[in-house]
Structure 1
Amino acid sequence: MAKINGNEIRPGNILEHDGGLWIAVKTDHVKPGKGGAFAQVELKNIRDGRKLNERFRSADKVERVRLEQKDQQFLYQQEDMLVFMDAETFEQIELPADILGDRRPFLQDGMTVTIEYHEAEALSAALPEKVICEIAETEPVVKGQTAANSFKPATLDNGVRVMVPPFVGAGERIVVNTETFEYVERA
């Protein structure tokens, strides 16, 4: 692991601090009128979600952690555990279903998911940015409703509600952004 100075911390960096793994959410470099400059860093614990505000002087050394990313294929769900397989070694791992949070409904059979590891522990899982879903139900097209920015609610085959343009109907396949839960385009 690499040690970095306190003033080199950037948002998104993962640090080992106070015996835990923390992600830097926000950094603010402060130069007070009296005394030395420091970085005011907002940290979030990766494992339990606790937040912490910490001051790091430029002389402070912090342990920066690099996470190993592996693409793994989703196989099936067993109770509240998701089973993934490494495409290279064919090794299977089980992760709790809540590792995906509210993006869980977008997980599809055979989908490749990027899982981040620290040593042998899986810390997070990221779905592809865009997935194809089918619209289960939506309101019918209203004639004359062709305003540029008009949207109507639709329910996808996975139960998620999104806003779609008026020309999209039930049974059509669309591309949805898994980060923002927004309609992107027709599939």
Structure 2
Amino acid sequence: MMNDKTSRLIFVLITVIATILLTACQTGTEEPAIKISSNSVELSPIYYGDLYNKEKEEIEKRLKDFMIGKRFIDLPTFAYGDIIQIEPLNFETGQYEIYDYIVDENGNIISDYDIVPISVTSNKEGKTEFTFEEGYDLESYKDFAVQGKLIHCLLIRCEIDNNSFAFATLVLNVE
């Protein structure tokens, strides 16, 4: 039978081993976080990380996962010409590439996937801005509109520590 001293020793050893194992499981690196907003409206970012963000199908899969349990009509609405700001919360990057895709209610990109990125400008507060612009023949996508509004996927790419990262957000346009 174990005595009290042996039981305490075993408990201390198990606690120390568990602490060491839990510490070893931590990667020590924090995933990049971003804030996307316009005026006082904060947009929900969709995180892609540094993997699975190159192909159209990978982007669509994450859009579909993000929208589970949500309705497209409840997305924030913006007028063409509105300024959208990007603020990195825990990383630095040299520049962003921003792509504006038209998406259907199933999360499929219906506009051309191989497009030129939107121009961006930096401001003095460390934030990057771009203008939400009408870049498509909207009439050709009217059948995909949700209550008269098109769904836009704003995909944001940047280099962080020599890796390509992607973030996105979904918005509706108003005229």
> Shorter-chain TM-score: what band?
under 0.3
TM-score (norm 1): 0.20
More strand by share: 1
Bigger relative contact order, structure 1 or 2 (CA pairs below 8 A, ≥6 apart) = 2
More helix by share: 2
